[in-house]
Amino acid sequence: MSLRSDPLDRLAIPDGTHVEEHDLVADGDIIVGGQSTVEFGVRGQNVVAGERVKFGGDIEADGDCRLDMWCDVDGNVLVGEDAYLGERVHIAGQLMVSGDIDIGDDVDIEEGFEANGWIVIRNPVPTVVFLFIYLAQLLRLGEEEAAEEVFETLDADREADPVLIPRSSHVSDDAWRVSTPASVGSNCRLHGNIRATELDIGTDTELFGSLRAKSDITIGANTAVHGDVTTRGGTVTIGPGVHIRGDVACEHLELDDRATIDGTLRARGEIQVVSSEIPVTDTGEDDVEPAIVRVDGETDDERPGVEAAVVEVEQAVRRVEDDEAADTSDADDTGNQEPSETVAIPDAEETADAEEGHSDDGLAGALAEAEKR
C-alpha cells in the first residue's frame, strides 16, 4: 500500500459479502468514512467508523470496535474484544464488551453497558490520527522502510479484505450512493441500486437493483443483475453467463454471446458481440432423471411392459346421393298437392284510371250542387 494513497477513495465490497434482512455481513473488517449513513446494521471482524457516522441497526464486531466523535447507533453494540468510543457518541441500545472500554466525554448509552476488562473514561485518540502521528514521526526520522513494514503488518493480520465505504456515502436497502468508483467482489449478494462514478462487478454475484455510473461498467461472468444497467458516457462490458433482467443504456457496449438481456439494448456508439473461453455456470437441468413412481413396492422386473395404444379412427363420409334422394322425395310430395285458387290482381294502369275517373265524378257533382244553392 502506498503511503500517498487514500484507502477510502472507493467503495470496495470484498468477496463473499452478503446483505441480509437487516445487516451487512462481511468476513473481514468494515471501515466507514466520516459523515456517512448506513441504514442497516453491520457484522464483521473489526468495525471502524469516522466522525458523524450513523448506523440504522446493531453493530457486531468479533474484534475491536472504534466509533469516532458524534457517531450515532440506532441499536446495540456487541464487541468481542476492546471498544473505543469518542466524544458525544450516542448508542440507542446496550453496549456489551468482552475486553476493555476506552470511552470519551458526554457519551450517551441509553440501556447501559457491560465490560469484562478495564473501563477508562477519557478521550481516546482516533485510529486514523494515531496512525498519522506514528507514521509522521517515522518519516521525520527517515525510516520509510519501517513505515512500509507497518502497513505490511496490518495487511498481514487480515484474513479477508475489508469493506470500505468512502466519506459522505449513503448506504441502504434502496440505494448505495457514493461519489467515488465502486467495486463488488465475487460470490456477493447485495440489495439496492448502486450509484457510483465507475463500477466493477465480480463473478457469480447477484444484485437486486440497478447499476448506474458516469463512466465504465464491467460485469463479470455468471452474475445476475435484477435491474437496469446505465452509464452516461462510458463502455459497458458484459461477460459470459451474465443475466440482466432489465435494459442496458450506454455509449459503447461489449457483449458476450452467452449473456442474456431481458430488456432492450441502447448504445450511441458501437456494439460488439465477442466470444470468450470463460466457463459458464451449469444449472444441471440436463442431469435430472425422470421420476418413476412404483405402486405397492413393485420392482422393475415386476412392472409390466407398456405398449403403445393405437386408436383407429374411421372418417365419416357424408354421401351426396342420400342427400339428393331426400331432396327428390320432398319434391315429389310437393307435386302431388292440388293447385290452390288464384286471385286476380289488377294492373297498376287500371288502378290509376279508376282512381282518376272517381275523382272527376266527385268534383262535377260538387260544382252542380253548389250552383243549385
Rounded Cα–Cα distance for residues 243 and 204 (Å): 11
Predicted structure pTM score: 0.68
Alpha-carbon gap, residue 262 to 322, rounded angstroms: 61
For the cut 90, the answer to whether the pLDDT of residue 31 exceeds it is: yes
Average pLDDT for 27-50: 93
If DSSP codes are grouped into helix, strand and coil, which group holds residue 341?
Answer: coil
| Average pLDDT rounded to a whole number, residues 133-153 | 79
Does the pLDDT value for residue 220 go beyond 90? yes
Listing DSSP states for 188-235 in one string gives -EEESEEEESSEEE-SS-EEES-EEESS-EEE-TT-EESS-EEESSSE
Residue 115: which H helix or E strand, with range? strand 113-115
End-to-end CA distance of the chain: 141
pLDDT, residue 361, reads 52
Cα torsion angle, 326, 332, 338, 339, sign: positive
Helices assigned H by DSSP within the chain: 127-140, 144-156, 320-335, 348-372
Q: Is the pLDDT of residue 262 over 60?
A: yes
Predicted pLDDT of residue 352: 40
Q: Check residue 237 and give its pLDDT.
A: 96
Of 121, 112, 63, the closest CA to residue 91 belongs to 112
Q: Which residue has the cell 476492546?
A: 82
Q: Is the pLDDT of residue 71 over 80?
A: yes
DSSP for 15-72? TT-EE-SSEEE-SS-EEE-TT-EE-SEEEES-EEE-TT-EESS-EEESS-EEE-TT-E
pLDDT class for 340, splitting at 50, 70, 90? very low
% pLDDT > 90, the chain = 53
Among 74, 3, 45, 20, residue whose Cα is nearest residue 163: 45
Mean pLDDT of 344-361: 44
Read off the pLDDT band of 285 (50, 70, 90): very low
264, pLDDT greater than 90: yes
* Average pLDDT of the segment spanning 37-60: 94
- Alpha-carbon distance 130 to 150, whole Å? 13
Residue 369 has a pLDDT of: 58
Query: Distance (Å, rounded) from C-alpha 94 to C-alpha 109?
Result: 7
Choice among 112-126, 205-219, 263-277, 307-321 with the minimum mean pLDDT: 307-321
The pLDDT value given to residue 304:
46
Q: Cα–Cα distance between 91 and 68 in angstroms, integer?
A: 12
- Residue 307 clears pLDDT 60, i.e. is over it: no
Confidence of residue 345 (pLDDT cuts 50, 70, 90): very low
In the predicted model, what is the mean pLDDT of residues 279-292? 49
What's the average model confidence in pLDDT over 235-244? Answer: 95
Q: Is the pLDDT reported for residue 241 higher than 80?
A: yes
